[in-house]
Amino acid sequence: MGLHHVFRPLTLRHKTLRNRIVFGAHTTNMAEGGLPGDRHLGYYLERARGGAAMITVEPMPVHPAAVLTRGNFRPGCDSVIAPFRRLTSACKAEGAVMIQQLYHVGAHGDWDNSWHAHWSPSGGPSYHDHVGSHAMTETEIEETIDGFVQAALRCQKAGFDGVEVWAAYHSLLDQFWTPFSNHRTDQWGGSLENRTRLSREILRRIRAACGEDFIIGLSVSEDLESKVLPDRDEILRIIALHDAEGLMDYVTVGVGSYIAFQKIIPSFQFAENLGVDLAAALKASGLKARVIAEAGIRTPENANTVLGAGQADLVAIVRGQIADPHLVAKAQDGRLADIRGCLSCNQQCWGRRGRDYYISCLINPSVGHEHEWGEGRFAPTETPQRVLVVGGGPAGLEAARVAAERSHAVILAEAAPHLGGAFRLAGLQPRRDQILDLIDWYERQLRQLGVDIRLNTYLEAEEIAAMDAARVVLATGAQPDPSGFQKALPHVAHLPGADHSNVATVEDIMSRAVRPGRNVVLLDEGGHWRGIGTAWHLAAAGHAVSIVTPDAMVGQALARMASDGTARAELARLGVRFVTEHAIIEWTGQTAGCRSLLTGAEQEIAADTLLLATGRKADDMLADALRALGCAPLVIGDALAPRQAAAAIREGLGVMGEI
Ligand SMILES: Cc1cc2nc3c(=O)[nH]c(=O)nc-3n(C[C@H](O)[C@H](O)[C@H](O)COP(=O)(O)O)c2cc1C
């Protein structure tokens, strides 16, 4: 596929972008002591080397009231200039244009991080932590404008080519734009002219302070399902007002808002290219400023389609370049099949940011470790060895890949007829086929690297020992526990009735080893995709599903990926029944006896099949047998301790340090 729309340069003010792909703004939470350090530098430098035309470095809070995360940079402080200069110099030397986002989240702050009251136009509620905010005085508005301008000047001193002013997702500036959050009767409220005065004044004063050779962007968003945020016409009018004065060089268009957070970082539950509609409308409106479409664009092919259709001048690919920092360079070299495609899973990017850790990536655990695990550790070894990897799930696939990259002679033995292990079953759940793409990617990489892949190969300990490998890596995964043990009932080792023939695990369902009856009770202790995705799969196929969970809500573990609400809505639409804060005390073969964990009250749910999404046990029998033969294997992934795929891939990568 020719990607010529992607690889056309574009001029923004004094800078020419080498292609049309931007690494859009996102909080990596990598600051140390409020300053960008080695981790931060390594992260962005890798994406600059990987070909991103423009990098919008994560937001700088413009005022103490704007601080949102532990990993935010110090606001209002010149000590950030020198370390940022190190970052901009290094990335610019690799050909990237460097921008910094400037932000103020207004009412939706995080007061016990900032230790500051949230500031907003009219004291509206926070949709972040459900507290109230302070209605800004005229003096505080002036202080905030100055905060933006001083931050922009600091960026300029730090070598940034420009700034992106954040008026997206219902942050401070678009809180001023919308009558829902702006009830002011002074010059900052009322008419559209007044409500946009603050953002226009900020852009105007940044231009006056920073001069003509400085790029100014405006970040906006759209949340059409909200009944209180600007609709399409209003948002077009607002942007046109700014454009008429030539206040910004580009507009970045995202999706969602603090009111509908799950759309901001759309998981695989949403269609791709989500942010393109408003971008296309802006282009059609004849905007003078350049338009950047963002959200769910994910791949260079999508980017090329959007650009080719004239729906945007540039596209931002955020998670796609978190997952594969060399996405652009690979596309340019015609190596599209080598791009490790983002799963849109949010598990280690937003999932970690939401817990205030620095971000990483499920499929690329090097994210956040580029400074430590740079090119050297992948370099070919001078002492190649024979390495046997047993198990072709995510841990084994990654271990085989990195060992082969280091020039070891690698055999990968997998008992099943195909690669992927339990992760393949996850890829068979609704909308999760990006996981199957990833498994295909691994297979292609392993074949290119000359790994000897042996499918349908179940190895006994004696056979492994006889293979005489210098290193044996065991990645044999975990097996579901059929006992029905529940953490909520620790004194009950076996669920009474768990040995009935109509009890199965969610793995039995996804592998099609078991065909359930029409009415299914699914006992879900994890609240993760393992149970939820299986319930979705069955409900979509017409089964009547009841989920019983000890958690206060179905899909509790998905909350950290901003995916739970969408998942529950889909299950509810499909008629799935939610029985929360309950355990199952008995399965009769026809009914599940359920007990409330709150009141002890009991109820029965009739069903044809009981499905277990309860614990799993490490499949480590081979490890013990090998140790008995004097061969010490390296045990990784679920075989070490059952967890999620992110842990498996990270430990697979970790074998680099061992071999
Ligand atoms: C971990 C993470 C943090 C983010 N933080 C910000 C932010 O601080 N400011 C912002 O404008 N967008 C932020 N975003 C949203 C992204 O800019 C982008 O709109 C979103 O990831 C969708 O684009 P994608 O599908 O290419 O990832 C963040 C995204 C992620 C994954």
DSSP assignment of 151-174: HHHHHHHTT-SEEEEE--SS-HHH
Which protein residue's CA is at the shortest distance from atom 20 of ligand 1?
265
What pLDDT score was predicted for residue 375? 57
- Nearest atom within ligand 1 for CA of residue 350: 1
Q: Is the pLDDT of residue 466 over 80?
A: yes
Work out the pLDDT band at 374, boundaries 50, 70, 90. confident
Contact 121, 189 (CB under 8 A): yes
Which protein residue's CA is at the shortest distance from atom 4 of ligand 1?
26
- Residue 408's Cα: distance from chain center in Å? 32
pLDDT in tens, 314-365: 999 999 999 999 999 999 999 999 999 999 999 999 999 989 999 999 999 9
CA dihedral sign, ordered 219, 225, 230, 231: positive
The percent of residues in the chain predicted with pLDDT above 90, rounded, is 93
CA distance 444 to 145: 53
Q: Is the pLDDT of residue 54 over 60?
A: yes
Q: What are phi and psi of 650, to 5 degrees?
A: -65, -40
Q: Is the pLDDT of residue 625 over 60?
A: yes
CA distance 588 to 570: 30
DSSP secondary structure of 208-236: HHH-SSSEEEEEEEE-TT-SSS--HHHHH
The residue written with tokens 């280091």 in the block is 406
Q: Which residues line ligand 1 (CB under 6 A)?
A: 24-27, 58-59, 101, 166, 168, 219, 254, 264-265, 294-298, 316-320, 349-350, 353, 359
Beta pairing, strands 602-606 & 591-596: antiparallel
Nearest of 570, 462, 587 to residue 521 by alpha carbon: 587
Work out the pLDDT band at 376, boundaries 50, 70, 90. low
Which residues are CB-neighbours of 545 under 8 A, at least 6 positions away? 520, 521, 522, 535, 538, 539, 571, 574, 575, 576, 577
- C-alpha distances in angstroms, 230 versus 27, 175, 239, 243? 25, 10, 11, 17
Mean pLDDT of 209-218: 98
What is the 541 CA–ligand 1 centroid distance (Å)?
33
Q: H-helix or E-strand containing 477?
A: none
| Ligand 1 binding pocket mutation candidate from 20, 23, 26, 218 (most atoms within 8 A of CB) | 26
- Nearest atom within ligand 1 for CA of residue 349: 1
Q: Is the pLDDT of residue 244 over 70?
A: yes
What is the 298 CA–ligand 1 centroid distance (Å)?
12
Mean pLDDT of 509-524: 97
Work out the pLDDT band at 198, boundaries 50, 70, 90. very high
pLDDT in tens, 78-98: 999 999 999 999 999 999 999
What is the 265 CA–ligand 1 centroid distance (Å)?
6
Work out the pLDDT band at 655, boundaries 50, 70, 90. confident
What pLDDT score was predicted for residue 239? 98
> What integer best gives the mean pLDDT of the chain?
96
Nearest of 563, 557, 477, 494 to residue 525 by alpha carbon: 557
CA distance 522 to 387: 41
Q: H-helix or E-strand containing 4?
A: none
Mean pLDDT of 484-503: 97
Mean pLDDT of 203-220: 98
Which residues are CB-neighbours of 458 under 8 A, at least 6 positions away? 415
- C-alpha distances in angstroms, 267 versus 80, 258, 566? 33, 16, 9
Nearest of 322, 452, 437 to residue 387 by alpha carbon: 452
Mean pLDDT of 209-225: 97
DSSP secondary structure of 101-162: EEE--GGG--HHHH-S--EESS-PPPTTTS---EEPPHHHHHHHHHHHHHHHHHHHHTT-SE
What pLDDT score was predicted for residue 569? 98
CA distance 383 to 471: 13
Q: Is the pLDDT of residue 524 over 70?
A: yes
What pLDDT score was predicted for residue 621? 87
| Ligand 1 binding pocket mutation candidate from 55, 265, 561 (most atoms within 8 A of CB) | 265
Weakest-pLDDT range from 247-251, 333-337, 354-358, 496-500: 354-358
What pLDDT score was predicted for residue 106? 97
pLDDT in tens, 431-452: 999 999 999 999 999 999 999 9
Neighbour tally for 186: CB within 10 Å: 10
Work out the pLDDT band at 378, boundaries 50, 70, 90. confident
CA distance 577 to 27: 37
What pLDDT score was predicted for residue 274? 86
CA distance 145 to 153: 13
Which protein residue's CA is at the shortest distance from atom 14 of ligand 1?
26
CA distance 475 to 460: 14
pLDDT in tens, 88-141: 999 999 999 999 999 999 999 889 889 999 999 999 999 988 899 999 999 999
Report if pTM > 0.75: yes
